[in-house]
Amino acid sequence: MFSSAWYKKSMPAFRVATAARSYDAIVENGIARRAAAYLPAGAGKLFVVSTEDVFQHVGGAMREALHTVPHELLTLPGGEDTKRLAPLEALAEKMVALGADRTSVILAFGGGIVTDMAGFLAAIFMRGIPVLQIPTTLLAQVDAAIGGKTGVNLACGKNLIGSFHQPLAVLIDPELLATLPPREYRAGLYEVIKSAVIASPALFDLLEAQREAVLQQHGATVEWMIAECVRIKVEVVSADEREMGLRKILNFGHTVGHALEAETAYRRFLHGEAVAFGMLAATRLAQLTGYVSPPAASRIETLVRAYGPIPDTAAIDPAALQKRLVSDKKTRQGHVHFVLPTAIGATQIVADVEPALVRQAIEYALQ
């Protein structure tokens, strides 16, 4: 299913084909400045949902894109610990006060927290209005904004309230990353590593061989890297929109990663950093259970660590993390499911792993 032969000189558009809707995920420098062209003809009032921080860094692109389009700017607080239902209720009240109706459109402009929250607002406002996704962080460009997953956290668990709501289009503009803080950029790189491990030996080789170019955001390298992740994501979502099977592979590193985010009240780790930790744990678990060879496990662990550092995991209780695994969305009737790598570019979903081995893997990753 996965091949890298698509790559040409020009920047690509990938078609997401789901039962709910078909749309393009387009990777192109400068495309955010042409957002108006992707708004539906005859649409009602436009609401741009973003954060003040995002607007300070890359708001110029949106101002240019919408200079002839009447719109309202609505801001979310930003930060994983504020990805909750209450701010969305407040925005919905504002939208009504500003004259929103069923013909209104939301433009989500921000990182993964914004694309998840604005997407969910669009999913539930008056039972659903369209959303155009314009991700501004690497993490949102390679993963969060594509595929229609929207939602918010509960205190007890990540993304436990949400909905599938496919967007009108996803406009992925690598130029927007130029002002991204280095920590945010590296957090996104862990989702890139995830894509490489689950589906792309070619991307894995690039991340190993071109570390400096990747970290320094060398144009052509980063553009290929993003496009390869988008290709993988689009193929997976098109095959399994509702995560009944294949889409589960996108959760490599997320089972333990989500537990880590909840355990630290969503304040200590960026999502990608928690995923890095989760990938270390899952890779160790795959080795302990014999699903992956020691050389392949060592390559994965070395690559994850090469893009570090991950924030300090001191004082995190492995038993508490393990306990949280049962409230993960992939847990079915008490059976925790793990996405384990079996080789570079291949994974297997495994349930009912011996709890002692899970504990060992978590303890190893915490070191």
- Answer yes or no: 8 catalytic: no
Q: Which of 28, 231, 251, 337 is catalytic?
A: 251
Residue 139 binds to ligand GLY (criterion: CB under 6 A)? no
Based on the residue annotation, tell me whether 153 is a catalytic residue of this protein: no
Helices marked H in the chain: 52-65, 85-97, 112-124, 138-139, 182-199, 201-209, 211-215, 219-239, 254-263, 271-288, 294-306, 318-324, 355-366
Q: Which of 194, 248, 254, 299 is catalytic?
A: 254
Q: Which is nearer to ligand GLY, 15 or 323 (CB)?
A: 15
When the beta carbons of 39 and 170 are compared against ligand GLY, the nearer one is 170
Active site residue 233: yes
Q: For tokens 């990777």, name the residue.
A: 27
258 included as an active-site residue: yes
Write out the E strands in 67-185.
71-76, 105-110, 131-135, 149-154, 157-164, 170-172
Which among 142-150, 259-267, 346-354, 358-366 is the span making contact with ligand GLY, rule CB under 6 A?
142-150
What distance in Å separates the CA atoms of residue 104 and residue 89, rounded to the nearest whole number?
17
Cβ(275)–Cβ(144) below 8 Å: no
* Residues whose CB is less than 8 angstroms from the CB of residue 123 and which lie 6 or more positions away in sequence, other chains included: 131, 150, 163, 164, 165
Q: Which of 186, 247, 258, 324 binds ligand GLY (CB under 6 A)?
A: 247
Whether 183 sits among the annotated catalytic residues: the reply is no
Distance CA 46, CA 95 (A): 10
Radius of gyration for the alpha carbons in the chain, expressed in angstroms and rounded: 20
Q: Is 78 in a helix, a strand, or coil?
A: coil
Among positions 116, 143, 241, 273, the unique one binding ligand GLY when judged by CB under 6 A = 143
Other residues' Cβ atoms within 10 Å of the Cβ of residue 243: 18
* Choice between 65 and 230, CB closer to ligand GLY: 230
The reply to whether 243 belongs to the active site is yes
Binding ligand GLY (rule: CB under 6 A), the pick from 12, 87, 147, 157 is: 147
Nearer to ligand GLY by Cβ, of 143 and 261: the residue is: 143
Shortest distance in whole angstroms from residue 245 CB to ligand GLY: 12
Query: Does 165 participate in binding ligand GLY (rule CB under 6 A)?
Result: no
Tokens encoding 287: 């080795």
Q: Is 107 in the site for ligand GLY (CB under 6 A)?
A: no
**Pick 186 or 247: Cβ nearer ligand GLY:** 247
In this structure, what token pair is assigned to residue 296? 């392949």
In the complex, the smallest distance separating the C-beta of residue 330 from ligand GLY, rounded to whole angstroms, is 11
* Joined tokens for residue 319: 């038993």
Catalytic residue among 158, 194, 231, 258: 258
Number of Cβ within a 10 Å radius of residue 155: 10
User: Which of these is catalytic: 165, 231, 233, 284?
Assistant: 233
- Asked whether position 250 contacts ligand GLY by CB under 6 A, the answer is yes
**Residue 194 touching ligand GLY (CB under 6 A):** no
Query: Could you give the residue numbers annotated as active site?
Result: 127, 149, 191, 233, 243, 247, 251, 254, 258, 271
Q: Which residues bind ligand GLY (CB under 6 A)?
A: 143, 147, 149, 247, 250
